[in-house]
Amino acid sequence: MKSITEEFISKKLADAELNSFDSDGYAEIPVKPETRLKCAAVLLPLTYFQDEWHILFTRRTDRVESHKGQVSFPGGACDEDETTPEQTALREADEEIGMNPADVKVLGRLSRLITISSFRVSPIVGVIPWPYAFRVAGVEVARVFTIPLLWLANRNNYWEFSLRESERSLIAYHPFDGELLWGATARMTVNFLKTLELL
């Protein structure tokens, strides 16, 4: 695990971005020329403690408009005055979990993902300090928790199902600490792990 440094992660993300800059990766819905996609970004927060890397996730409350009760990354829709996905991801992380943008060291981007709710999501990878005094937005976020990177990279801990009569598939992890990681957030996680060549 010591070989996975911030520099290593940054280089892998930069190499991937050269090949797919500002491009779409997986799409959960068929995208046609007339499809109207909404701009969004999430922060994929990495943190190092107990001698290993972890990824931080949130669980959404049952009161939010969409994806109620689901495990997700901090993030949301772009504001009109935002010109980069980094701005959106950092603002949303501040609003949802009280993560000061100045405390996030952005390492790079993953390819965009088009969700079933018609969002084109840009995942931004950043390192955050640990421990951290999170301020959780109770209306949106029910819980903040982490999962070890190597647990996520263990192929025995998740399935990928082919969806009937479709070229698309669904990724779902075994429960971890009572939380179920699946769907778009699981796919972004697996995409990140593949970028690091851990899968």
Question: Is the backbone of residue 139 left (phi > 0), alpha (psi -120 to 50) or beta?
Answer: alpha
Looking at domain 6-148, which CATH architecture does it have? Answer: Alpha-Beta Complex (3.90)
Percent of the chain at pLDDT > 70 equals 93
H/E element, 183: helix 183-195
Encode burial over 126-153: b for 16+ CB neighbours within 10 A, e otherwise: bbbeeebebeebeebbbebebbbbeebb
CA distance 125 to 90: 10
- Give per-residue pLDDT as tens, 17-65: 776 656 678 889 888 888 899 999 999 999 999 999 999 999 999 876 6
- Give per-residue pLDDT as tens, 88-127: 999 999 999 999 999 999 999 999 999 988 999 999 999 9
Percent of the chain at pLDDT > 90 equals 78
CA distance 74 to 60: 9
pTM: 0.94
Burial of 93 (0-12, 13-18, 19+ CB in 10 A): buried
pLDDT at 23: 67
